[in-house]
Chain A
């Protein structure tokens, strides 16, 4: 029995060849531009946020910042003639979940662009996934030095400073004090966190160089909820300056423990927490917050282009004042949009290259990055005064010349 090879009809062969050619061409095109295949479809921007879990409050306002940026961008015509659509997944502040969410956004949801999440804890693995997939990654949070030591060319931090430059303005303020007014002793407590711990280490090193003696230095686990014994040890050491590397609610919890002991240090600096919208309420009212220092990436009163409009639009949209986290995510959106509009296409490498060589105007001021994505600037020094955070330094952004020192006793 003879087997015949089936004949392929010429017309069918031509059609198959044409289809294969189209497939190959479209595949080649998609590596540099997803937009060419469906130019009027919304531009999908993916992100995984801790919308539930221990930092859900912070993330909520951050998400609102992203939403506002997207709606404002859409009102101005979107990007590349396409509307912006956010593709948001919840990770519950779990780094494993966050990582798998970004993988899903890239491989299954086929997002055109990514935006970062909150905390160094989550941004560290997520930015690595983005780097592996060749995606641009602009993050609103995550200033831990370890994130920028990996040599990623696609990572950009959308705040004016990182953990390493966070202490700059406060240390400069301490250094500017006359010898008689400068604190001579300090206690350091910090959460074991990739962003807070290195910042506190820099504080300690620089303050010790100024002659401030360390009396207490402890790192606590992120799961710590009871700060009474830590506060008691701090009070027992009786330092003039207390510095806490807080991440979220741990700042308010520690302040509450200090209140129970009626121990009010002359100077109290906390990272992150004092900028939370609920901070003053959590520690018993604005009177208790009076005189507490912190570092900020953004101020609602800063005169940078678009900042006043951002504050007004945010208050109108959400019915409350924007937090620093909202401003940071809005800034990340601004950075991404500036690159896309300048490059004119979705080409991840070209977008990163453009950001490495240009300055972007944002609501936190003009931003420029080094080769590893570290912004070339520093954070603002702020202090709670009369129920609000006031900017003390740098002078160009200062909203007051008054400094509350020493910190008044609790509740006065």
Chain B
């Protein structure tokens, strides 16, 4: 029983990390229908920025996340105006190629600036744990999971309680209808890209103290974050959080009770099942597609 409880704890904590990493992609993919292949590269860039702040100034990586948010948001906005918006006008489908190119450029720039060596931040809690009886709760994972909860709640509040949130919802459900009520989808797109990029600051900070990373670590994370978004349902921020938890727990249970080797296949298998049985995602309702532009 202890082993099962411990496995569930590990799974839930890792799932929270997955949800945190996927937050930005949920917005761009879910609302704008743009598969932002550069999301993983932005995560790694944020991780390296946090690493630099930690190694040069000794700032805790979690505090670094709040510092890195603004430049990452600005970067997202600039890239949207310079690249995404223009490509979108030509052919929406080309955005995936454009973001993939951005990912490659970002990886090369990161490698040039920080070098190819593995890096990680090591705050005092990176390998420490809380012990409750025979159960262990790793502090680093717990803090990352709490960050995920915080980011999810904050974004959900923005979507549900602010004019920007209403505009995002309107633009995602019916572009022409949104225009009729004065919402300009291009401007909303700019905000979504900026918020999505800014949110990678938190994912990157968590990544920096949880794992060793190199410039090309983005490959691993883009696969996981896409899995989370598809499982959770396009555009659903709470859905992405729930999907992250489900994915983490399923991976942990597979690793412990089936085989470690099978654990890495779990995201792919789950996507296959969900796309077959419930293509709209596990945590969203099917909507009329004919009114979505």
Contact = CB atoms under 8 A, between A and B. Distances in A.
Given A221-B261, A260-B129, A54 B117 contact: no
Interface stretch (B2-10, B22-30, B226-234): B2-10
A373 B243 CA distance: 51
Interface stretch (B68-76, B213-221, B275-283): B213-221
Nearest to B212: A249
A224 B251 CA distance: 11
A261 B260 contact: no
B261 A232 contact: no
* Closest A-B pairs by Cβ, 9 of them: A56-B116, A259-B127, A218-B260, A57-B117, A260-B138, A221-B264, A229-B255, A249-B212, A229-B252
Interface string B101-128: 0000000000100001110101000111
Contact of A262 (B120, B129, B210): B129
Contacts of B136: 232, 260-262
Contacts of A410: 127
A284 interface: yes
Given A218-B260, A223-B220, A57 B211 contact: no
A282 B261 CA distance: 25
28 contacts: A52-B116, A52-B215, A53-B116, A54-B214, A54-B217, A56-B116, A56-B117, A60-B117, A218-B260, A218-B261, A220-B260, A223-B220, A224-B260, A225-B211, A228-B10, A228-B13, A229-B7, A229-B263, A236-B2, A248-B118, A249-B212, A260-B127, A260-B136, A260-B138, A260-B140, A278-B117, A281-B122, A282-B120
Contact of B255 (A57, A225, A233, A288): A233
Contacts of A53: 116, 214, 216
A52 B118 contact: no
A120 to B, nearest CB: 19
B216 A52 contact: yes
Contacts of A219: 260-261
A229 B256 contact: yes
Nearest to A260: B138
A51 interface: yes
Nearest to B262: A221
A225 B259 CA distance: 16
A153 B125 CA distance: 53
A236 B3 contact: yes
Nearest to B117: A57
Interface in A247-283: 248-249, 252-253, 256, 259-262, 278, 281-283
A87 interface: no
B89 interface: no
A218 B264 contact: no
B11 interface: yes
B116 A282 contact: no
Nearest to B248: A226
A371 interface: no
A278 B6 contact: no
B260 A228 contact: no
A319 B217 CA distance: 28
Nearest to B14: A226
Interface string A47-83: 0000111101101100000000000000000000000
A230 interface: yes
Given A92-B216, A218-B261, A284-B126, A228 B131 contact: no
Contacts of B95: none
A138 B102 CA distance: 38
A178 to B, nearest CB: 32
Nearest to B221: A225
B172 interface: no
Contacts of A283: 127
A57 B138 contact: no
Residue from A223, A233, A260, A278 whose CB has the most chain B CB atoms within 10 Å = A260
A232 B216 contact: no
Nearest to B129: A260
Given A218-B261, A219-B260, A256-B127, A232 B116 contact: no
A262 B7 contact: no
B260 A253 contact: no
B225 to A, nearest CB: 13
Contacts of A192: 261
A56 B214 contact: yes
Given A52-B216, A229-B263, A232-B10, A57 B129 contact: no
B116 A229 contact: no
Given A218-B261, A226-B14, A232 B118 contact: no
Interface in B15-58: none
B216 A284 contact: no
Given A57-B117, A229-B256, A253 B138 contact: no
B141 interface: yes
B11 A229 contact: yes
A199 B2 CA distance: 33
Contacts of B11: 229
Interface string A201-243: 0000000000000000011110111101110110010000000
Residue from B117, B128, B259 whose CB has the most chain A CB atoms within 10 Å = B117
B10 A282 contact: no
A253 B217 CA distance: 14
Given A228-B141, A261-B136, A284-B127, A223 B264 contact: yes
